[in-house]
Amino acid sequence: MHRSSEISLLIVADDLLARAGLAALLAGQPGLYVAGQSDCGPALDALDQQHAPDALLWDLGWDFGEAENNPLLERLADFTARLPVLALLPDGEEAGKVWAAGVAGLLPRQVDGERLSAALAAVTAGLLVLDPGQRDLLAPASDIPPAELLEPLTPREEDVLALLADGLTNRAIARQLAISENTVKFHVQSLLGKLDAQSRTDAVVRATRLGLLIL
């Protein structure tokens, strides 16, 4: 039974065994509810309408990337425009194309259940998840910030950034780090400047893309 506090997701993979394996991998993870499983055909559209999931977990398969003008990319883009999609890749060679399709997360197919669960929680919270080994393989895109910070973060700014990613308020961060709320505000403003971000959420997104937050 689906609880309102759980993340509802659909598992997508053309390989039936891959779908079953992912469902088994996530079965013991708290806070997740697998509403259904499907290949990428018309059945997926029907399940999406029926369950209105919070996210899709999409296994692209071992042979992804072998075909030119892969139709899966267009299919991916149809769904990433509407909800978060966490994609699993066999290797990083096609990471740029998949990232450009608008996925919220990219992980290798060999990921373990605990990390997969954390990544799904992150993408449904509006964050971006990217495996460190795939980050350097992404093709440049105009919406991806520069590969380097305007200035390096201090250790304290890194602490504040990690707590921002957890969704904590300035007051909660101050309690956690045993500093004043005004000091937290100072660090947040410094982070926004160094990341060239317009908001706290934007700062977390940019930091994730830069590899400063590994979720």
Per-residue confidence (pLDDT) for residue 144, from 0 to 100: 44
For CATH 1.10.10.10, list the domain ranges present in the chain. Answer: 155-209
* CATH fold label, 155-209: Arc Repressor Mutant, subunit A (1.10.10)
- For domain 7-135, say whether CATH 3.40.50.800 is its number: no
Per-residue confidence (pLDDT) for residue 82, from 0 to 100: 86
What DSSP designation does 165 have?
A: H
CA neighbours within 13 Å on the CB side: how many for 16? Answer: 0
What's the pLDDT tens digit per position in 128-185? 787 766 655 554 443 444 446 778 899 999 999 988 887 788 888 999 999 998 899 9
Residues in the chain predicted with pLDDT less than 50, given as ranges, are 139-147
Per-residue confidence (pLDDT) for residue 147, from 0 to 100: 47
Per-residue confidence (pLDDT) for residue 26, from 0 to 100: 92
Q: What is the DSSP string of 169-204?
A: -HHHHHHHHT--HHHHHHHHHHHHHHHT-SSHHHHH
Both tokens assigned to 163: 């707590």
Both tokens assigned to 37: 């499983």
For CATH 3.40.50.2300, list the domain ranges present in the chain. Answer: 7-135
Burial class (CB in 10 A: 0-12, 13-18, 19+), 13: buried
Per-residue confidence (pLDDT) for residue 63, from 0 to 100: 72
Strand-pair partners of 59:
88
